[in-house]
Amino acid sequence: MTQTTDAGTTPAGVATVGAVVLDVPDVAGATAFWRGILQAPEPQDTEDDWVTLETPEGWEVCLQHAPDLVRAQWPGQAHPQQLHLDLRVPDVAAATSAAVAQGATLLRENPTWNTLADPAGHPFDLCASDEVDRTTVWGVTVDVPDAAAAARFWAALLGEEIAYEGDGMAMLGGPRTIMFQQVAGYVAPGWPDPGRPQQLHLDLRIPPDDPDAAEATALRLGARRLPGGGTTFRVFADPDGHPFCLCWG
């Protein structure tokens, strides 16, 4: 099935999901925590303000220094989580105990998943699965005011099908699972406004030959260009205000 945008165009498919980037006040501490949770090897891409972790199943989880991060206070919208990682585990109770021992905080228990926060305050879910024998990254869930509309934008940007839509949820069907959950009273991030900073964002990879064309497509689909960027990336917000980067090179 080919999804269409509101304008009736076919999916642009100008980008692929490269990395999930978490803003953290303590890069070294966050690296130690997430290496333990994800069972990631020693990182090869490290700087004072940036570390890239590569998980055994192929995800990249990056830690970006944000000394003035305003901690998320889930489940409220005063300081919302904005988006979060969903992890699959073979045993929720055991994985929860291990995560708490490493510095996580248990926020809520459910029959088949638990919600925790990492030491920087980022919520994440541990979800029971009989398809895994260790903790793996399942996907990213994005908080939005309208799950169907958000899925249409991201499906067109990534060139992916909408695999599920209903009950205030939507999910894309690409190689990196991206889900959207409808949130009452949704409050958008206002990056770079320090009062409404981003918590996490996605880095998307684009071909290096024509970033201007990729930008034009993103803007046509409903993205906004944001301040910042460099010689190999540009910063945008999706229609719901979530920052993301188009990266090349």
Judge whether residue 154 has pLDDT over 50. yes
Number of DSSP helices (H) and strands (E) in the chain, helices first = 4, 16
Judge whether residue 7 has pLDDT over 70. no
Residue 229 token pair: 């960027």
- CA torsion sign, 59 to 91 to 129 to 157? negative
Give residue-wise pLDDT tens across range 82-102.
999 999 999 999 999 999 999
Average predicted confidence (pLDDT) for the chain: 93
Q: Determine contact, residues 87/54, Cβ cutoff 8 Å.
A: no
Give residue-wise pLDDT tens across range 172-203.
999 999 999 999 999 999 999 988 899 999 99
Strand partners, 164: 171
Give the start-end residues of each E strand in the chain: 16-24, 45-47, 50-54, 60-65, 83-89, 105-109, 113-117, 123-128, 136-144, 162-166, 169-172, 177-182, 200-205, 224-225, 233-237, 243-247
Give residue-wise pLDDT tens across range 40-92.
999 987 888 999 999 999 999 999 999 999 999 999 899 999 999 999 999 99
Judge whether residue 245 has pLDDT over 90. yes
Give pLDDT, residue 2: 36
Q: How confident is the model at residue 4 (pLDDT cuts 50, 70, 90)?
A: very low
Rg (CA), the chain: 17
pTM: 0.93
Residue of 98, 17, 21 lying closest to 58 (CA atoms): 17
Across the range 219-245, mean pLDDT stands at 97
C-alpha–C-alpha distance, residues 147 and 165, integer Å: 8
Q: Provide the 3-class DSSP secondary structure of residue 232.
A: coil
Q: List domains and CATH numbers for the chain.
A: 74-199+212-236 (3.10.180.10)
Chain centroid to Cα 248, Å, comes to: 19
Across the range 6-31, mean pLDDT stands at 83
Q: How confident is the model at residue 249 (pLDDT cuts 50, 70, 90)?
A: confident
